[in-house]
Chains A and B, each alone.
Chain A
Amino acid sequence: MGGRDSAYEAAGTAAKGDGVSPGAADATPFPTAMQEGLHSCEVCGLLSRPAPGEEEGRCPRCDEELVFRKRASIQRTWAFLIAAAVCYVPANLLPVLSTTTATGTETDTILQGVILLWSPTGWPLSLIVLVASIMIPSAKILALGYLLVSAQRGSVQNSRQRVRLYRMVEFIGRWSMVDVFVDTFTAALIQLQPLMSVSPAPGLLFFAAVVVLTMLAVESFDPRLIWDATIPKEVVYG
């Protein structure tokens, strides 16, 4: 098999800091590992060849079970995404904190928390919570929906922008947890019964669920599906 490998060299690798210029433009038909019948290990990165006629295998280096694409990636991502969208509604409508003072009990939703923080000195933090808790979760749900629909339709447009969008969603997702921590430590500290006490309210669970479910959706999505539409159908698994 030594002879076959040399053919792959055509697709060069851009090496920053090594003086190698980036490879050819988008238009050239790039061979992918799947087209060549090779498995790329998601755990250790090793490229290996399954037994003839097999679609599954095991990585000889790290023992990971190998397939060409993440199993049921589209279905699993949709499932997590729909669950996240369902939880998004109570996460924003139900209160996340309740404050008990001598005069009674008040509850706050996430948006009310943002408004409460808004003051001449506190507005930057209010903005952080607004972006992290309201804008990022909704943008994530929309972005993942777009990535799924475009991958399912076999879109060949904007692949580079779409994979960049995926990376952005992957990078930024964890920061939505910030509101969970704000509420956790506000409640932990303000336990001054009967003067004033703060406790978490039911909305917090739904909000945390949105963050976790969207993170799981990102992990289930296989970004290589963005590019698969550029491969002529007959050579898939070729």
Chain B
Amino acid sequence: MTGAAYNEALSDASLISCSHCDLLQRLPQLSPGGSARCPRCDKELWRRRDDSLNRTLALALGAALLYVVANAVPMLGLTIVGRSASTTVLGGVQTLWQDGQGMVAALVLFTVVIAPALQIGLMLGIVAGALRASPPRWVGKLLRHYPTTRTWSMIEVMMLGVLIALVKIADYATVIPGVALFVLGALVFVLAAMQAGFDAREVWEKIEWADGTRHMRPRGPLPKGTA
């Protein structure tokens, strides 16, 4: 990136401002499981997690496995007067595409196939990098894009939609829930647990700085002249 010069970091790393109301405040030291909220707008500023990196790695690996299975096997099937049909997640996208709904097909593909894959993949990369003794800068590059993938990854919304579609279709035909439906149900919970156990602040505090000045910066005031 080009443009402005690097800012100067404050000498006290525990000073922050609230992302929802800009109030300056000092983040307290928290015990695992403790959380800090903004006194003015009640935004959760930080929730410290116990053994965050190892747990997140385990859940991300589990999510990756479930993701692969969920996309490989049929999700829904039906039988009606001797005829049967079934579809996968990608089958839904394909039908939209063939019916001339290219834009909607692309949106569905992005929200239930691409974004979840990126979410899981980035998380694996972030945690694997952050578990190193000195996390390199690329961990930060992955971490900065992670929230976007999380916003647009909508597996839980799709699950609700598929269940409603099942009930609708049950009026006309016998519906057969496929293996992928159950796997996706599990994936929703594993992804939620992965997200809940991840502590981004912990990773940011370990990372190599973009301006190349510091690495593994300790919390609290640095000796004068180093900041």
Show the binding face of A for B, using Cβ within 8 Å: 1-2, 5, 8-9, 11-18, 20, 22-24, 26, 30-34, 36, 38-40, 42-51, 54, 56-66, 116-117, 122, 125, 128-129, 159-160, 163-164, 166-167, 174-175, 177-192, 195-196, 199-200, 204-205, 208, 212, 215, 219, 223-224, 226-228
- A36 partner residues in chain B, CB cutoff 8 A: 24
Known: A11-B24, A54-B5. 11 other contacts (CB 8 A): A13-B28, A40-B16, A47-B24, A48-B7, A59-B210, A182-B168, A185-B162, A189-B76, A189-B78, A191-B95, A226-B21
Query: Would you call A12 and B4 a contact (CB within 8 A)?
Result: no
Contact surface of B with A, Cβ cutoff 8 Å: 1, 3-12, 15-17, 19-28, 30-31, 33-43, 45, 75-78, 80-81, 83, 85-87, 91-96, 99, 101, 103-104, 107-108, 111-112, 140, 143-144, 151, 154, 157-158, 160-165, 167-169, 172-173, 200-201, 204, 207, 209-211, 213, 221, 224, 227
Chain A residues lying within 8 Å of B38, measured Cβ to Cβ, are 13-14
Query: Least Cβ distance of A155 to chain B in Å?
Result: 14
Complex: chain B residue closest to A20, CB-CB = B28
CB distance from A206 to the nearest CB of B (A): 10
Are B168 and A117 in touch, CB under 8 angstroms?
A: yes
CA distance A5 to B16 in the complex (A): 11
Which one, B19, B157, B211, B224, contacts A178 given CB within 8 A?
B157
**Contact between chains at A178 and B161 (CB < 8 Å):** yes
Among A178, A191, A200, max chain B CB count under 10 A is at A178
Query: What B residues does A56 contact at CB under 8 A?
Result: 3-4
Assembled-state Cα–Cα distance A41/B187 (Å): 32
Bound-state Cα–Cα, A18 to B46, Å: 12
Q: For the complex, what is the distance from the CA of A47 to the CA of B19, rounded to whole Å?
A: 11
Residue pairs across A and B with Cβ atoms less than 8 A apart, 14 shown, are A13-B28, A15-B30, A47-B24, A48-B9, A61-B9, A62-B204, A160-B42, A178-B157, A180-B107, A180-B161, A181-B158, A190-B78, A205-B103, A215-B151
A49–B12 Cα gap in the complex (Å)? 12
Cβ contacts under 8 Å, A166 to chain B: 20
> Given A5-B11, A49-B7, A212-B107, is A40 in contact with B95 using a C-beta cutoff of 8 Å?
no
- Majority SS of interface residues in chain B? mixed
B87 to chain A: closest residue by CB:
A188
Nearest B residue to A16 by beta-carbon distance?
A: B35
**Which A residue's beta carbon lies closest to that of B41?**
A163
CB distance from B166 to the nearest CB of A (A): 8
**Top 5 A-B pairs ranked by shortest CB distance?**
A181-B161, A23-B39, A33-B17, A48-B7, A63-B210
Min distance, Cβ A159 to any Cβ of chain B, angstroms? 7
Instruction: Select one of A17, A38, A183, A224 contacting B10, CB under 8 A.
Output: A38
A39 to chain B: closest residue by CB: B7
Contact status B162-A45, CB under 8 Å: no
